[in-house]
Structure 1
Amino acid sequence: MNTPLVLMYHGIVTEWTVLPKEREAGADLYDVQLPNFQAQMQRLSADGYKVETVNGNSENLSPKSVVLTFDDGEMNNYEHAFPVLKKHRFPAYFFIIASRVGKKGYMGWDELRALHAYGMVIGSHGFSHEILTNLLDTQIEEELKASKRYLEYNLKIPIDALSIPRGFCDDKVIRMAYEAGYKHIFISERPRKLQSECYSRVAVKSGWTLRRVQQTLDGQTPVIEEVTGMSKRIIKRVFGEGVYDWVRRSLLKIK
């Protein structure tokens, strides 16, 4: 399977953006200000990057292929990201937390239908945004299948793409996702021991400059980020993903 560069976005915000109260601690680390997002998309367009989806097309991706994804389904994706994507005629994936559709700060069915009508891909981000590796097999199956059924029933479209919630996954979760009927599975950073076919992604963070985004497009990672990433992987391996997430969320709540 070819592996294109996949960029992972979350909130696209302005100073007036109403943020959902259901957000997890630390979500603001991934909020990209609208002017920065506009500049990033302009760079992709001006430099001739081919923004596309992977639906049945992964073997034919060009060296300058970029895939855009948006996690969580916040309303700011529709209000801010969607107009910019339309301007450049860029397709993208929007991964939806099924249980939050229509809640304050999240897109409703009308917004999701409008995205789909334009050519955007609607995918699942789990039913309730749980860390799947912490759940029993029956719970994992329900999270995967219930979100797919709920989105398909209300949108009347196939839901073939999945973004694993919270970035924690293993081969069992990926296998169960394929068994649930998903065809394209996206994760965050790929665990070293993971053998399953899926698409890893690079998370675009709030503090990234245009130069930092260009480094990602060029396949470069700053040394400090490599060291930080290695430290996180060691902590996850030694203490487990559940403990890592709990510590992370606890530290982020400290003012």
Structure 2
Amino acid sequence: MTTHVNLCFHGIGRPGPEREPGESSYWIGTDLFHRVLDLVADDPRVRLSFDDGNASDVEVALPALVERGLHATFFVLAGRLDDPRSLDADGVRLLQAHGMTVGTHGMDHRPWRGMDPATATRELDRARTDLAAVTGRPVEHAALPLGRYDRVLLSRLRARGYAGVHTSDRAWAREGAWLQPRFSLRATDTLEDLRHDVLRPPALPRRLRRELVGGLKRLR
């Protein structure tokens, strides 16, 4: 069984006023971001992704990725395309033009667990359609806002034909699996945290504990 590590970034640089509580805790400094990329650039086990569609995706992240020849998937909030602090349609197309993958993070950055049918249509269908209209390509991958899910949500995503769904479960991922856990980097993380807690394969008890957590989410 081949496994890999999914690293997830949110904002890079100095965060502005929070649009929701706790948002700034998921922003990391530009210097740390560059050092993380340098650390993992030659590591074939690492996959990179970005959530929330912040403007720093094109202002900071894209040039650094291109310079190092790295690929990433960007999970964009379709409802923020007109927000001056977020990616706009031109920014999304710029990511795609440089070979990056564009996925959906929904419309309004709200939890997808427990949505009524109208909200599910807005978050899972309309956001996807809006992004596909921007890119001119199907949007095949989704990242779960706030990492919350259950079996009902996963069934909804499968029924809509998503090729892959990305979580925040902080576990190593299985190559080719439909559900992909990720490690989100936070403002308090250091390069040593990344080396020790993320890039080092977990001991068996820790791995089993994390797999149990994910399994319980899928069953509830």
TM-score normalised by L of structure 2: 0.84
| 1:209 to 2:203 alignment | no
In structure 1, what is the equivalent of residue 68 of structure 2? Answer: 88
Could you tell me the percent identity over the aligned residues?
Answer: 26
| Aligned match for 1:112, one of 86, 92, 99 | 92
Counterpart in the other structure of 1:31: 27
* 1:2/1:124 CA distance change after superposition, 3 Å: farther
Matches within 5 A, 1:14-163: 14=14, 19=16, 23-45=19-41, 48-50=42-44, 65-163=45-143
Amino acid at match of 1:44: V
User: For the Cα contact (< 8 Å) 1:33–1:206, is it kept in 2?
Assistant: yes
Relative distance call for 1:83 and 1:32 in structure 2 (3 A) is same
1:154 is displaced (CA, Å) by 2.2
Distance 1:190 1:142 in 2: 28
Secondary structure of the 2:32 match is helix
Superimposed CA distance per residue, residues 202-227 of structure 1 (whole angstroms, 9 cap, x where no aligned partner): 11111111111111111359xxxx8x
**8 A contact 1:20–1:106 mirrored in 2:** no
Q: Is the 8 A contact 2:104 2:128 kept in 1?
A: yes
Distance 1:190 1:210, change over 3 A: closer
Tell me how far 1:102 sits from its aligned partner: 2.7
1:170 is matched with 150
Report the AA paired with residue 30 of structure 1: Y
Cα distance, 1:190–1:6 mapped onto 2, change above 3 Å: closer
The answer (yes or no) to whether the contact 2:11–2:27 under 8 Å persists in 1 is yes
Asked which structure has the greater CA Rg, the reply is: 1
2 CA distance for matches of 1:76 and 1:106? 8
Q: Deviations over 1:89-123 (max 9, x none)?
A: 11001001111013110011111111101110000
Q: Is the 8 A contact 2:93 2:134 kept in 1?
A: no
Matched position secondary structure for 1:86: helix
- Specify whether residues 204 and 161 from structure 1 end up closer, same or farther in structure 2 by C-alpha distance, changes over 3 A only: same
Structure-2 separation of matches of 1:42 and 1:170: 36
What amino acid is the match of 1:75? Answer: A
Report if the CA contact (8 A) 2:7-2:49 is conserved: yes
Q: Is the 8 A contact 2:77 2:104 kept in 1?
A: yes
| Residue of structure 1 in register with 2:11 after alignment | 11
Question: Deviations 1:111-168 (Å, cap 9, x if unpaired)?
Answer: 1111101110000001111211132244223310111111111221110010011111
Distance 1:140 1:3 in 2: 31
Q: For residue 11 of structure 1, what is the amino acid of its counterpart?
A: G
Q: Tell me how far apart the structure 2 counterparts of residues 108 and 166 of structure 1 sit (CA, whole Å).
A: 22
TM-score (normalizing by structure 1):
0.73
RMSD (CA atoms): 2.6
- Once the two structures are TM-superposed, the CA of residue 178 in structure 1 deviates from its matched residue by 2.1
1:187 shift after superposition: 0.9
Structure 1: distance between partners of 2:156 and 2:114: 14
Q: Which residue of 1 aligns with 2:174?
A: none
In the alignment, structure 1 residue 219 sits paired with structure 2 residue 201: yes
Provide the rounded CA distance (Å) in 2 between the counterparts of 1:29 and 1:41: 20
